[in-house]
Copies of this chain bind each other. A is one copy, B any other.
Amino acid sequence: MADRLKAAVLGATGLVGQRFVYLLSRHPWFQLYAVTASERRVGKRYGETVEWYIDEPFPEEAAELEIRPTRADALRDVDLVFVALPKEVAGEIELELARMGKIVVSNANVFRMEPDVPLLNPEANWEHIRLVEEQRRRRGWSGAIMKVPNCTTAVLTLSLKPLLDRYGLKEVYMTSMQAISGAGFSGVPGYAITDNILPFIKGEEEKVVRESRKILGKLEGSEVKHADFRVVATTTRVPVLDGHLESVVAKLSKTPGSLEEVLETWDTWKSMPQELRLPTAPEKPVVVRREPNRPQPRLDRKTGRGMSVVVGRATLPFEGEPLLRYMVLGHNTLRGAAGTGVLIAELYYRLIEQVF
C-alpha cells in the first residue's frame, strides 16, 4: 500500500471546508497537508483562524497548518486537492491545478455539465470516472477534474438509481426541504428562517433537473448519454441545521411486484464503493426505515456516518400502477458535499491509479 497522499482543502474555513478537514484528519489514504482560505487569513494557523462550528470535535492535527493563499502556485507540493470554494473563484484555479497534474475533486458548481468532466455520486455512477481518460486526452493534461454533484441531487439520485436499474424511470416529482447549511455558514439569515420557510433557492431546481439526468446517464464509449426521465423539482429552505429531506413521486416504467419488493431493492443494493470497501463508503448506500415517522433530519442525518441516504414513507398509491411515493433524507454537507468528495477521490485512486 502506498504512503498517504498529500491532500489540500481549498476554502477550508467554510462549512464544507470544515467537513473536508475533519474527514481528512482521520483518513487512512490521504493526509491533510495543506489548507487555503481567503486573503485575510493567509499565514495564520488554521486552529487560530477557523471558527469551528460543525458537530464534530476539532481535529487537533489541523491546528498547526498554516493557511495558504488560494492559488495554484501555492499548492505545488500536494497530490490531490479538494475544492470547497464558491463557483465564482473555483473555475480558474481548478483548471490550473489540473494542468499542473493535480487530482482535483471539487464541490464547486462549475464544469459540472462539461461532457468530459465526470459528475460523480459514486454508488450511482462510479463507471463515469472513466471520463477522466477522455478529459486528459481532450485537454492534454495529466491532472483531472472530478465533480461532486449538487447536494439535493446527490441525495435524490442515490435513491433513484436502484429504481432505475430494476424498474426504469419516466418521471420524478420532487419537493425538497433543505437545511440551512446548504447555503453556507452565513447564507441564510436567522431573521429570514426562524418560524418560516423560504420557498425558493436560486438555481437549485435547474441543477436537480440537469444533474440527475447526467448522473443517471449511461457511459457509452467516451461520453455519457444522459438519462431521459423527466424531473419537476421544487426546492425550499427550512429551519433545519443539516440534512436535506425530499418528498418524491416517481413514475416507473414497470410496476413493482409489491412495495416489499421495492424496499428490498433499496435495502439490498450495493455498488462498487461497497465492493471495493472504500474507506468512506457506507455499508449501505440506501437505508430503509419502515416506521411511519422516519426519516427525520435531526435523528437520521448521520446514518452511515452521513454517507447513507435514508428512505421512508414509501407507498404504491394506486394498485397495479408504476407510481411510487417515498421520502429520502441525506446529509447535505457529507453525502451532498465533502463526504462524496472524499469518496470520489478514493474511487479514483483505487480504480484509476490503483495505488491502494
Contacts and interface: CB of A to CB of B under 8 A. Distances in A.
Given A195-B241, A196-B240, A185 B189 contact: yes
Contacts of A192: 53, 185, 190
A214 to B, nearest CB: 18
Contact of A189 (B177, B188, B197, B327): B188
Interface string A174-211: 01010011000111111111111111101000000000
Contacts of A15: 191
A53 B299 CA distance: 7
B241 A194 contact: yes
B53 A191 contact: yes
Given A173-B173, A236-B247, A239-B238, A296 B190 contact: no
Interface stretch (A96-104, A144-152, A278-286, A287-295): A287-295
A136 interface: no
Contacts of A198: 293, 296
A249 interface: yes
Contact of A197 (B188, B238, B249): B238
A312 interface: yes
Interface of A: 15, 52-53, 55, 173, 175, 177, 180-181, 185-200, 202, 230, 232, 234, 236, 238-241, 245, 247, 249, 292-299, 312-313, 317-318, 323, 325, 327
Q: Which 5 A-B pairs have the closest CB atoms?
A: A175-B247, A175-B175, A196-B298, A188-B190, A200-B293
26 contacts: A175-B175, A175-B247, A177-B177, A177-B236, A180-B190, A180-B191, A180-B194, A181-B191, A185-B189, A186-B186, A186-B191, A187-B191, A188-B189, A190-B193, A190-B239, A194-B195, A194-B241, A194-B298, A195-B239, A195-B298, A196-B297, A196-B299, A197-B297, A199-B295, A232-B325, A236-B245
